[in-house]
Structure 1
Amino acid sequence: MALVLPVAAVGGEVLRVLTWPGYADPDLVKVFEQRTGAKVEVTFIDSDDTLWQRINGNQSQDFDVFAVNTAELQRYIANALVVPIDTAQVPNLAKQLPRFRNLNGIPGIVKDGKVYAVPYTFAEMGLIYDRQQIKEPPVSIQALWDPRYRGKVLLYNGASHNFTLAAQSLKDPNPFQLKESEWPTAVNRLIELRRNAMGFYSQPEESVDLFKRKQAALLFANYGSQQLQLLKAAGVDVGYAIPQEGALAWLDCWVITRGAKNKGLAAAWIDYFLEPEPSNALVKRQGLANTVAAAPNMRPQDRLKWLEPVESAPRRSLLWERILAGDRASKVLAP
């Protein structure tokens, strides 16, 4: 399929891309360069903090387009570091799955009627279980607290996500915004979860090693299908389940900076990465889901709960550190 660019996009231009490893592989970038005559300079980042520093450091003047999750996106919009996207310049939006075509239905993408981001890839935080120890797929996140799995649950070491998980297990309608009265209950819930834990991980590869070596029964998969793919490749007999409450999920989107030199060229980049070849590369190479084809490990009825900004990331981090240290609730909640 030919890539149609606006008149302003001519050969010899440079497109400056800031993104995550696996999102802009050299062979895919080369195709875009051949089609447009533009040169693409890709810079990779490895954390949300680094992404913020690179974009905010020079008021978004150093890059044209970057990838960011919907929760993080909000501070870029608030600080006028990104600009609305002309969706007419991204015709492949029409090829996305219904849940991604409905941009108004995804928190944080549309503001004041303007579209600030185009969904690209996502990972849901499902439950991975050892088929030899758990015969039936767990249907609820309550399984993480099941006393039958005491000392057999492998958890993600992430303050924000774990407080959201606890609030979700308590049926909080908005687990991203804890009210003052809800903190004690959430803390007690996480202390209960800590007692079920066999250990905590930060990176996908680390979780595979711990799962195999310590013979975990259940894993809260912060990296979702990516971890499932790694565990299966390691020869572990595992299953995967999306909890009935809905799986927490991060959604990475392409956005255009305020400092973009050629916004039409940036839009063309976004449109290209919604084509089948780049989209399928996410699945085959990274174990991630794309937005144009159904994820292989999800059923139509499975629900996702997109991450949103939380009420206080610093407070969640402080209390989580105390919970990990083994403190009682009264000490965890102390000023």
Structure 2
Amino acid sequence: MTICKRLLLTGLLLLMIFSGMAQAEQLLRVLAWPGYADPDMVANFEKNTGSRVEVTYINTDDELWNKVLRNDGSDFDVFAVNTAELQRYINKGLSAPLDVSAIPNQANQLARFRSTGAISGLMRGKHLYALPYTYAEMGLIYNRKLVKIPPESMAAMWDPQYRGRVLAYSGSVHNFSIAGLLNGSKNPFRLSDSELQSATMRLVQLRRNVLGFYSSPEEAVRLYQSNDVALVFANFGTQQLEALRAAGADVGYVVPKEGALAWLDCWAISSKSKAPQLALKWINYTLQADVSILLSKRHGLANTVTATSFSNSKDKLIWLEPAEDQDKRLALWTRILSGDTLQKF
């Protein structure tokens, strides 16, 4: 009798252990930008897969990098990153090659995105490290009540008439690229030391016009609603435009004549993922037409599955590339935000 009880208890204990392991394997940890994993979208995935999803939102590339870098990426299973930023994740061994055979919905994507080998940054050797999900250009939003003539250049943010009426983005990398582009640099992503110095001077001068530096579309809307804002650098592109219009703002949108930086966000899987197969299912799920179209309907973002009106083929777009030294840009940007004067650079 005692032996039977022991066997029974042992069996129950093993059952509890294996049950707990199964539950742990069904947890998917997603790191994404706002709008990429809405609650109802997540709930539907959970229902279809019998899994549980934890979503962590980020608002800047720097924040994304720091979260993935911590604990060598083991805190997350799948994350959204643009093609330029993706390179340092691959270099650091933080992202894993994708098994495309487990993502059949890739066949749903528009032709330009199905040709992954033709998109710079997705491949490393023969391995595919990410799949496109959404994209947008970084244009310029203007208040129709305060700006009567649509601006033609991003240089309008430095115009003295808009002192204290400009909203700028708080991320470090893109701001230096914009300044470099305006300064005439041949490649705004690969600035020389002298070009980086000139870009720094230009960004210091921008501070006098900036009302505030935002980190999310929602924060930009709040700042816009409570202040007399003339111009907004749209780091999140048409997503911000739609968010402001939904809030009742009378705003216009332009792609500057010198061109607009444009990002292509993709799903990548952490090399330390605890649920890589579930992560593949997540990527496949987001490439369903009914799921991808939510990006456009709700958030004003172009998706990679259905053609939308958010991108104009005539616009000059400058696809993001890795910066020459992201850490150096971040260090300089931190000093700019802290208020260092021109003489200190």
Q: Does 1:43 align with 2:55?
A: yes
**Is this contact kept in 1: 2:29–2:78, CA < 8 A?**
yes
Q: Any stretches of 5+ residues in structure 2 without a counterpart?
A: 1-21
Residue number in structure 2 paired with 1:197: 210
Residue number in structure 2 paired with 1:308: 321
Change beyond 3 A, Cα 1:40–1:321: closer
Secondary structure (helix, strand or coil) at the match of 1:316 reads helix
One-letter identity of the residue aligned with 1:243: P
One-letter identity of the residue aligned with 1:153: V
Q: Does 1:177 align with 2:190?
A: yes
Query: Which of the numbers 2, 10, 16 marks the counterpart of 2:28?
Result: 16
* Partner Cα distance (1:297, 1:50) in 2: 27
* Partner Cα distance (2:337, 2:46) in 1: 48
**Is this contact kept in 2: 1:19–1:66, CA < 8 A?**
yes
* Partner Cα distance (2:91, 2:291) in 1: 30
TM-score (norm 1): 0.81
Deviates more, 1:46-55 or 1:299-308: 46-55
1:179 to partner: Cα distance: 0.7
Query: Which of the numbers 278, 296, 316 marks the counterpart of 2:309?
Result: 296
**Is this contact kept in 2: 1:184–1:329, CA < 8 A?**
no
1:202 to partner: Cα distance: 3.2
1:199 to partner: Cα distance: 3.8
1:44 to partner: Cα distance: 1.8
One-letter identity of the residue aligned with 2:105: N
**Is this contact kept in 1: 2:98–2:128, CA < 8 A?**
yes
Residue number in structure 1 paired with 2:41: 28
1:273 to partner: Cα distance: 0.8
**Is this contact kept in 1: 2:160–2:209, CA < 8 A?**
yes
Secondary structure (helix, strand or coil) at the match of 2:194 reads helix
1:321 to partner: Cα distance: 4.2
Residue by residue over 1:192-227, the C-alpha shift from the partner in whole angstroms, topping out at 9 and shown as x without a partner, is 433443443333333223334432222111222222
Secondary structure (helix, strand or coil) at the match of 1:42 reads strand
Residue by residue over 1:151-197, the C-alpha shift from the partner in whole angstroms, topping out at 9 and shown as x without a partner, is 43322233322111100112322212221121332123223433443
Residue number in structure 2 paired with 1:132: 145
1:236 to partner: Cα distance: 1.7
TM-score (norm 2): 0.79
Secondary structure (helix, strand or coil) at the match of 1:227 reads helix
Residue by residue over 1:254-305, the C-alpha shift from the partner in whole angstroms, topping out at 9 and shown as x without a partner, is 1223345675553333122111221122223334332223343331222333
**Is this contact kept in 2: 1:24–1:42, CA < 8 A?**
no
* Partner Cα distance (2:288, 2:269) in 1: 19
Secondary structure (helix, strand or coil) at the match of 1:319 reads helix
One-letter identity of the residue aligned with 1:158: G
One-letter identity of the residue aligned with 1:144: M
Deviates more, 1:74-83 or 1:61-70: 61-70
Query: Which of the numbers 89, 92, 95 marks the counterpart of 2:108?
Result: 95
**Is this contact kept in 1: 2:133–2:304, CA < 8 A?**
yes
**Is this contact kept in 2: 1:106–1:306, CA < 8 A?**
no
Q: Any stretches of 5+ residues in structure 1 without a counterpart?
A: 1-10
Residue number in structure 1 paired with 2:134: 121
**Is this contact kept in 2: 1:123–1:224, CA < 8 A?**
yes
Change beyond 3 A, Cα 1:187–1:271: same
* Coordinate RMSD, CA, aligned: 3.1
Residue number in structure 1 paired with 2:165: 152
Q: Does 1:279 align with 2:292?
A: yes
1:55 to partner: Cα distance: 4.5
* Partner Cα distance (2:51, 2:266) in 1: 22
Residue number in structure 2 paired with 1:207: 220
* Partner Cα distance (1:135, 1:121) in 2: 32
Change beyond 3 A, Cα 1:18–1:139: same
How many residues are aligned here?
321
One-letter identity of the residue aligned with 1:42: E
Name the one with the larger helix percent: 2
Q: Percent identity?
A: 51
Change beyond 3 A, Cα 1:63–1:95: same
* Partner Cα distance (1:165, 1:232) in 2: 25
* Partner Cα distance (2:163, 2:69) in 1: 44
Aligned ranges 1:175-254 → 2 under 5 Å: 175-254=188-267
**Is this contact kept in 2: 1:107–1:306, CA < 8 A?**
no
* Partner Cα distance (2:311, 2:336) in 1: 33
